[in-house]
Structure 1
Amino acid sequence: MKKRLPTSTAGSLPKPAWLAEPEKLWSPWKLQGAELEDAKRDALRLSLQEQQHAGIDIVSDGEQTRQHFVTTFIEHLDGVDFAKRETVRIRNRYDASVPTVVGAVSRPKPVFVDDARFLRSQTDQPIKWALPGPMTMIDTLYDSHYKSREKLAWEFATLLNQEARELEAAGVDIIQFDEPAFNVFFDEVNDWGVATLERAIEGLKCETAVHICYGYGIKANTDWKKTLGSEWRQYEETFPRLQASSIDIVSLECHNARVPMDLIELIRGKKVMVGAIDVANHGVESAEEVAATLRRALQFVEADKLYPCTNCGMAPLPRDVARGKLAALSAGAEIVRRELGA
């Protein structure tokens, strides 16, 4: 029998200090060449083991082999020049130096498929793989070729679909597209953002998910959240379109967020990855705090469609904090399972 309330993480987990500088996004690797490749695999094994030890049901690679959830995929594409940098505003929140699209984009070879195959060989549990969504990819670049956000998003959606099909063939059970940009560019989401996401999942038989959050616990994001008022209603703008889409699962931020829980009603019928772990602070939730978030969510989503999760990735957190949070997620889900008589 399939386990009820299966737990998972939204994406990244902290990297070991021997692989990259801890508690930092875009942290440079500490090794190179064959040593680096070996170290990445060791970190992936370790990340898997820590998820299993914490009782996580749907496991991932913890994004151990990538520096960043968006740019590592882009690095492997043709048509993008990483030496030619421009400063752009990321999601209207902070400035970053980003690579430039200089020609037609293409994917000369698979990006994460070998890593996914390796993860598959290490466990019999369901595995989830995160990819950047088309809109979030275009928001992390300077485009001097297409000069159209929509056109570039459609191009990226085609490349993501190629990668996703090969990830599915490698044994991935859930492919998740990270779209934090969906919480910012509402008109574009509804005009073409969800449509490009549908292009990215075209032809897939495995489950598909979209993850929409308020970002890592970095200062630019926490400062932005302070400007959003007493209720964060951004999901209200995009959920109706997602509810009508063919995406199977919607992943959202809940715990310690000012997101009204009843907005989940707008995606009724979808499976929902409910963020029950706050990644923006170092405090470790109690199992009861996690359970309380899940109980509130159960007013708006059926128990067989509720997937307890983290609010976002945990790459910037200390490893012991992340381990504690994973254990709390599992323990809280178990409390609610018992209450449901599962």
Structure 2
Amino acid sequence: MTKLLPTSTAGSLPKPSWLAEPEKLWSPWKLEGPALVEAKRDALRVTLAEQEGAGIDIVSDGEQTRQHFVTTFIEHLTGVDFEKRETVKIRDRYEASVPTVVGAVSRDKPVFVEDAKFLRAQTDSPIKWALPGPMTMIDTLYDAHYRSREKLAWEFATILNQEARELEAAGVDIIQFDEPAFNVFFDEVNDWGIATLERAIEGLQCETAVHICYGYGIKANTDWKKTLGSEWRQYERTFPRLQASSIDLVSLECHNSRVPMDLIELLRGKKVMVGAIDVATNTIETPEEVARTLRKALQFVDADKLYPCTNCGMAPLSRDVARGKLKALGAGAAIVRRELSA
């Protein structure tokens, strides 16, 4: 990636209303069979055009072909029973009915590789593809088989590595692992969470990223944020170990959050995807607001390692709002790019 301040999104983008019910997580598909396959690909084309039209440099599928950033991957694995459900507390925040691990987990066939090949064929832009991280996967399940969070995480890391290697072969430039659980289970992150992430990226030649945020703009997350006080210092617990890891990029939440910007200094030497778009509000940022966040970040990360991004995914937002936010991100990065080149 040679362009200065290359922009990207952290994850999901809203789905068109003909594909799934808008502004809703886990929204069921409106079609089935071959019609659904075609509709997903049409949605992928649309979301790609919207990203490129907004000046987004590193494009993604916007997660158009999956219902949810974690469970869609798990649905394709053996050893997990989606009919047998238990209620668990996800990320120590909210209760959810989740599937059960009933036997040894394995991946019998690729999950997203065909979708990645399709996206690669549509664009010459660099592509980023998101996968759930091992710790966030185990936090979205009830484990009746391994009965050990760490053991299950290592199993998932091996499976993720298989998928990641095939995504790389399909032409993906950056593989991102989504680990919101890294903002909650700090001891586990440092004991084995980062180690399992290293296992997931083993042998990859493409760039790798980890995305750690404060979640979608849903009520359970915004309520949790209200309990975190005037400064959010969760990143302080994990960034030193991430800085020493093999991960190339770290994606974090900055705009409209209470994360002290100087925590980015803990990642010195890494590429940093700075969240300059708030996904928990319908208010569309101005390009100047985005530029202001990026200028603050530049005090703590070198310009050639700053990647402007969104705080998190935008699936629960309306398409109009998401489109406006993408344009603001592209325009705000362009302002700072001009300032730096001057």
Partner of 2:274: 274
Partner of 1:195: 195
Task: State the AA in 1 paired with 2:278.
Answer: D
Task: State the AA in 2 paired with 1:85.
Answer: R
Question: Residues 115-134 of structure 1 correspond to what in structure 2 (within 5 A)?
Answer: 115-134=115-134
Question: Residues 1-342 of structure 1 correspond to what in structure 2 (within 5 A)?
Answer: 2-341=2-341
Q: Return the offset for 1:325.
A: 0.1
- Secondary structure at 2:37 match in 1: helix
Q: Distance in 2 between matches of 1:199 and 1:247?
A: 11
Q: Distance in 1 between matches of 2:195 and 2:220?
A: 29
Q: Return the offset for 1:230.
A: 0.1
Identical amino acids, percent of aligned pairs: 87
Q: Distance in 2 between matches of 1:251 and 1:51?
A: 18
Deviations 1:229-264 (A, max 9, x none): 000000000000000000000000000000000000
- Secondary structure at 2:135 match in 1: helix
- Secondary structure at 2:278 match in 1: coil
**TM-score computed with the length of structure 1 as normaliser:** 1.00
Q: Distance in 2 between matches of 1:8 and 1:341?
A: 20
Q: Distance in 1 between matches of 2:110 and 2:341?
A: 44
Q: Distance in 2 between matches of 1:22 and 1:337?
A: 34
Q: Distance in 2 between matches of 1:207 and 1:252?
A: 17
Q: Distance in 1 between matches of 2:195 and 2:138?
A: 15
Task: State the AA in 1 paired with 2:253.
Answer: E
Q: Distance in 1 between matches of 2:245 and 2:278?
A: 28
- Secondary structure at 1:49 match in 2: helix
- Secondary structure at 1:17 match in 2: coil
CA RMSD of aligned residues (A): 0.6
Task: State the AA in 1 paired with 2:9.
Answer: T
Q: What count of residue pairs does the alignment treat as equivalent?
A: 342
Q: Distance in 2 between matches of 1:211 and 1:331?
A: 23
Q: Distance in 1 between matches of 2:220 and 2:25?
A: 12
Task: State the AA in 2 paired with 1:20.
Answer: A
Deviations 1:172-231 (A, max 9, x none): 000000000000000000000000000000000000000000000000000000000000
Q: Return the offset for 1:2.
A: 1.8
Q: Distance in 1 between matches of 2:123 and 2:319?
A: 22
Task: State the AA in 1 paired with 2:206.
Answer: C
Q: Distance in 1 between matches of 2:89 and 2:17?
A: 30
Q: Distance in 1 between matches of 2:263 and 2:53?
A: 33
Q: Distance in 2 between matches of 1:243 and 1:14?
A: 32
- Secondary structure at 1:101 match in 2: strand
Q: Distance in 2 between matches of 1:191 and 1:241?
A: 10
Deviations 1:125-158 (A, max 9, x none): 0000000000000000000000000000000000
Q: Distance in 1 between matches of 2:207 and 2:257?
A: 27
- Secondary structure at 2:231 match in 1: coil
Q: Distance in 1 between matches of 2:242 and 2:68?
A: 26
Task: State the AA in 2 paired with 1:290.
Answer: V
**TM-score computed with the length of structure 2 as normaliser:** 1.00
Q: Return the offset for 1:70.
A: 0.1
List, as ranges, runs of 4+ consecutive aligned residues in structure 1 with deviation greater than 3 Å: none
